[in-house]
Structure 1
Amino acid sequence: MMSLLFLVFLVAMICVLTKKKSLAYALFTVGMVLSLFWLNHHATDPLSILL
Structure 2
Amino acid sequence: MALDKGMKCVLLAGRRTGEIVTIEEKIDDNFVKVKTQKGKIRKCNITHLEPL
The verdict on a shared fold, with TM-score over 0.5 as the criterion, is no
Return the structure number with greater helix share.
1
